[in-house]
Structure 1
Amino acid sequence: MGRWQARWLVWFGLSVLAPLAAAQERPFAAVLAAPAPALLTDRAPAERLDDRVTVRHLAFRSLDVPGPNGPVANEVYALLALPTGPGPYPALVVLHPGREAAQRAIAIAWARRGYVAISPDLPGIADPARARHSRGLWTGKPYGSDRWLLRPAAASSTLFQAAAAGIGAVRVLQQRADVDRGRIGIVGASFGAYETLLLAGLLGDDIRAAYVVWGSGYFDETSFSKDMADLSPADRARWHAVLGAENYLQGIKADLFLAATSNDRAFWLPAVARTFEGITARKNLVIGPNADHASTGYPGAAPRDPDGSWTEQEIHYFAHALQGSGPALPVARLERVAGDTAVVQVLGTDIRSVTVYSSATDAPYPKRTWVALPDSRVSAGADGRYRIDLRALGLGERDWFVQASDARGTSSSTLPQRWGGAAR
């Protein structure tokens, strides 16, 4: 098969078959309509860590998954970290990356900051060897099994099961008297970031704020493209219809921040940009130049406590979005490009730096080198507007974006642009 034929099949699957499949089925309807999941016996005694935080080891019944001898129930373990006092508190669902499991240290750190935090094991994403308190068919299989499987039912996919586990965690929070149901957020990294997008789209107004760390939709444009290519066009279209985060972006009602890296080996920058463009809710973005699936590349990236969050600025983000504390993160917006000049508006408090990064387009995104333009090519004007002399990009095709940071180090970026047109 020629390259153009392969590309046509991908286009046909995503543009024609996926929307048709999405229109014909609403696979999460029953999960979303179900009552809060039944809590099972705690997997371990509660821990009173100190006078500020208590930890509970919950388990709840999730999906019934088709098995060779009939359906088998998933029992999802979730670590629940509680601040001392009656509340009500804002709450966070903490979604772990691949090969990990419920995030004890991060959930506890959020509880110390004044949030009820719950972190469930996610089927298909968690390492079964680490998810020793969860039960289900997936726990007896190798890591990553059945992610792309939608037969005999959507629930056969472990990523569908992961989404159901995340929805269940939100429902557990909504039933608690110490949780303010109007202030529930989600934070997730890597595969957990993909699930954050999916859940924010599925749950709509139930989620107030979401922070996505190194994740996207459009798996055909990520390191999972090989897995997608192994599926038939019909199966690929159905997978995207059921589990492609891109199909749920317009359902997002939460404020959403997407923290990306320019050289991400898993979630490539074009897929991140396309995902961001598809979100119609209030949104913001940062891109770490020359960073690969790690908290580097901008002042607010690396957390002061590596065990307490994935990035430092997510702490400021939720403080503003859910606790009403501190200023919002800065926002960098490309207003226009006219000839050799671009105008970017930066909104925020005490902005300390505005930097333009660019790269040649002759290498794959994970292997690119991004170079900062001299400060002399960026001039500040009124109302937070900055004029950029694009001639500094030099000759030849180049991609560029702007990064703005405030005194706290929290940062925002524009989407990448191509010198002479949008970067794709």
Structure 2
Amino acid sequence: MRNIAFVLTIIFCWLPADARGNNRQIYESYLNDVAPKIVETIEEYVKDGVYIHKLKFLSRILDGQEVIIYGILAKPAKAGIYPGILMVHGGGGSADAFFPQVLDWAKRGYISFCQDQPGICSSKHSSSGPETSFIRCAGDPNSLSSFSIYDGVVAALNGLRMVRSQPEVDTSKIGITGPSWGGYMTTMISGLAGKRIKASFANYGCGYYDRGSHWSAGLEQMNVNDRAKWLDTLDAGRKASQITSNFFVTSPTNDFYFWPGAIMATYNNITSPKNICIAANVSHVLDFPGGTKSSKKGASLTYMEVQWMDYHLKGIGSPFGSCTANSVVTREANEVRVRFTYSGVNPAENTEIWYSYGETPYRSNYWKSVPVISEDNGIYSGLIPIYETELPILWYGMASDNLGTDGREYSCSTTYQKIDPLSIGFTAKERRNEAFAEDFEGLLTRWQKPYAEKYSGKHEFNATAAFSGSKGLRLIGEQTFRCDGLRGEAFNKFAKGFSMWVKNPGGTNFDVKLMAEEPNGIRHYWVAHQINPKPEWTKLFIPWKTFIYEGNGTPSVKMLSSRLGQLRFVTPLNSDIYIDNISTIER
């Protein structure tokens, strides 16, 4: 995913999405099965039983200049009728980058195609046309068709025409899949194409950019009328109500680009058969069974998309199961019991319930799992602890079919759910302190390098860095290292700062930072400089009052507020710092 430089924002909404977005007029010329004109054959050959055609086609003409798009077509060399797959790459990608997937789908018995998509393409792509950027390209700046993302959509629509026009393709069995920006494009093309697509699989990407995405602030910069026109015509979420395909979407909870509000608004607007799976504590990764780490996925991003297409387009295998949250949440002492139902051809082999704070920044949330018990009729439940009774909790349930002798491996989940403790009998006076404590002995998924930030330093969790127990955190060289899941509004009620044990054999300074994020994605940092910590183990006390705001003027959010999300350590070159036993200091 290319990091296009726009300020971030999120607008989380649990209400049904705005179902407008029926403006299809500027796409009508491309909503048919007439193949685009091939203007050049780059390469054409047969390899490993697959016919491969690398080509360029005329996508459209803009201000007298031809927009020429490069693409790769692959199909089984053996005569026959086959289902078709359109692949849509993500930001910074290209058709060439997706060539292994194009080839893999053809080897699996599909006619496959992938094209460059202007506006979200790598600078190394092989297409040509007007200069592009995310917001506008050459042409009338008041025309929606002058947005470069429009050229990306048109290129994908022409790719669909290319697939459906192949004489060997079964046009009743067409699928589309893509990650990130390709997930946006999967949603967009599925909505525009309607019944011309039977199965869709969107990894991470979605529509409703104005409800929580990396590009929300860019849209906010438009005037009200221009923004409304852009959303009505170019936002994939507004087209989701027109989807008729069998649709699957995946959602990493902490995705840097596509946030839960946008995912849910898009998902709620889809009325065709649909399914979802959420992945906890990751960004642009799907670490559940059948996801990005599956040994069976081949060149595809996930094994689940292969099984999804095989079932819906070939009739191979059996349908995925699904999870539905029970709307009744009950209080049990200082906890709440949540339930979900799994329905499927085969029983779930693994079930999970995850929860997180509902008021904190979504990209900085830390999701925790709770023990799950099986009840009757496919119902599973778990207890979620409640500490801050006036603040919301998010949760979801998940079921998996692990890879076994049947060859199936997939996961599914409920949608994101929200709990308001006050509405189920808790009172404000019942709040409890939830201390932050980290000894580095347990699961360490909340500790990561910041997404999309590059540093030469490295980190280790090992015995060398342990003050007590078997592990501590060792930071070597220049880097930023973050911890997600801080709850500032709670800290403000009972804590006065942090304590931690530190050893500094490298002899350098380092910084401790706190990060808060506004709903529009603007981030604020406060820093507490640690000057020449001692080379032997020393317990540091860092009161809140020692953190200094790094921005100009007065911050628009308070440090200890619901917008607090991360603790960060920033180390310089030549550093070697050991950290262990971090905790909040109670007043």
Task: Give the TM-score category using the shorter length.
Answer: 0.7 to 0.9
- Please state whether the residue corresponding to 2:189 is helix, strand or coil: helix
Cα distance, 1:146 vs structure 2: 2.1
Aligned to 1:414: 414
Across the aligned residues of Structure 1 and Structure 2, the Cα RMSD in angstroms comes to 2.7
Aligned to 1:28: 27
- Please state whether the residue corresponding to 2:192 is helix, strand or coil: helix
Cα distance, 1:380 vs structure 2: 2.9
2:386 to 387, 394, 401: 394
Residues 6-155 of structure 1 aligned to structure 2 (within 5 Å): 26-32=25-31, 35-42=34-41, 44-50=42-48, 52-66=49-63, 71-102=64-95, 103-127=98-122, 129-132=123-126, 134-138=127-131, 141=132, 144=134, 146=136, 151-155=141-145
Residue identity opposite 1:190 in structure 2 = S
Q: 2:221, 2:410 → 1: CA distance?
A: 40
Cα distance, 1:100 vs structure 2: 1.1
Cα distance, 1:26 vs structure 2: 2.4
Contact 1:350 1:407 in 2 (8 A): no
Aligned to 1:385: 379
Contact 2:289 2:401 in 1 (8 A): no
2:196 to 190, 206, 227: 206
Contact 1:356 1:373 in 2 (8 A): yes
Q: 1:27, 1:175 → 2: CA distance?
A: 22
Q: Residues 55 and 303 of structure 1: is their aligned pair in 2 closer, same or farther, counting only changes over 3 Å?
A: farther
1:270 paired with 2:261, answer: yes
Q: Output one character per residue of 1:358-384: Cα deviation in whole Å (capped at 9) or x when no partner.
A: 012342111111111013xx32312x2
Aligned to 2:225: 234
Q: 1:339, 1:322 → 2: CA distance?
A: 42
Aligned to 1:293: 284
Bigger radius of gyration: 2
Shift >4 Å, 4+ stretches: 22-25, 147-150
Cα distance, 1:58 vs structure 2: 2.2
1:184 paired with 2:177, answer: no
- Please state whether the residue corresponding to 2:327 is helix, strand or coil: strand
Residue identity opposite 1:415 in structure 2 = T
1:351 paired with 2:351, answer: no
Q: Residues 145 and 372 of structure 1: is their aligned pair in 2 closer, same or farther, counting only changes over 3 Å?
A: same
Q: 1:169, 1:318 → 2: CA distance?
A: 18
1:403 paired with 2:398, answer: yes
Q: 2:191, 2:290 → 1: CA distance?
A: 29
Q: Output one character per residue of 1:176-203: Cα deviation in whole Å (capped at 9) or x when no partner.
A: 1111100000001111110110100000
Residue identity opposite 1:93 in structure 2 = L
Contact 2:24 2:192 in 1 (8 A): no
Q: 2:262, 2:29 → 1: CA distance?
A: 30
Q: Residues 209 and 147 of structure 1: is their aligned pair in 2 closer, same or farther, counting only changes over 3 Å?
A: farther
- Please state whether the residue corresponding to 1:284 is helix, strand or coil: strand
1:217 paired with 2:207, answer: yes
Q: Residues 23 and 363 of structure 1: is their aligned pair in 2 closer, same or farther, counting only changes over 3 Å?
A: closer
Q: 2:300, 2:139 → 1: CA distance?
A: 32
Cα distance, 1:27 vs structure 2: 2.2
Contact 2:33 2:162 in 1 (8 A): no
Aligned to 1:244: 235
Contact 1:303 1:311 in 2 (8 A): yes
Q: Residues 94 and 23 of structure 1: is their aligned pair in 2 closer, same or farther, counting only changes over 3 Å?
A: closer
Aligned to 2:365: 368
Cα distance, 1:296 vs structure 2: 2.0
Cα distance, 1:298 vs structure 2: 4.7
- Aligned residues between the structures: 394
**Structure number with higher strand proportion:** 2
Residue identity opposite 1:86 in structure 2 = A
Q: 1:324, 1:24 → 2: CA distance?
A: 34
- Please state whether the residue corresponding to 1:351 is helix, strand or coil: coil
Cα distance, 1:149 vs structure 2: 8.8
1:156 paired with 2:154, answer: no
Residue identity opposite 1:359 in structure 2 = S
Contact 2:186 2:200 in 1 (8 A): yes
Cα distance, 1:147 vs structure 2: 7.2
Residue identity opposite 1:40 in structure 2 = V
Q: 2:307, 2:343 → 1: CA distance?
A: 16
What TM-score, normalized by structure 2, do the two folds share?
0.63
Cα distance, 1:31 vs structure 2: 2.8
Q: 2:78, 2:303 → 1: CA distance?
A: 26
Q: Residues 306 and 339 of structure 1: is their aligned pair in 2 closer, same or farther, counting only changes over 3 Å?
A: closer
Q: Output one character per residue of 1:21-60: Cα deviation in whole Å (capped at 9) or x when no partner.
A: x577722223325843122221x2213222x212111222
1:282 paired with 2:279, answer: no
Structure 1's unaligned 5+ residue stretches are 1-5, 9-13
- Please state whether the residue corresponding to 2:38 is helix, strand or coil: coil
Q: 2:24, 2:81 → 1: CA distance?
A: 37
Q: Output one character per residue of 1:149-183: Cα deviation in whole Å (capped at 9) or x when no partner.
A: 97343221111111111111111112111111000
Q: Residues 75 and 342 of structure 1: is their aligned pair in 2 closer, same or farther, counting only changes over 3 Å?
A: same
Q: Residues 193 and 25 of structure 1: is their aligned pair in 2 closer, same or farther, counting only changes over 3 Å?
A: closer
Percent of counterpart pairs with the same letter?
A: 25
Q: Output one character per residue of 1:97-128: Cα deviation in whole Å (capped at 9) or x when no partner.
A: 1011011011111111111110000011111x
Q: 2:236, 2:22 → 1: CA distance?
A: 15
Q: 1:305, 1:157 → 2: CA distance?
A: 39
Q: Residues 297 and 317 of structure 1: is their aligned pair in 2 closer, same or farther, counting only changes over 3 Å?
A: same
Contact 1:150 1:239 in 2 (8 A): no
- Please state whether the residue corresponding to 1:27 is helix, strand or coil: helix
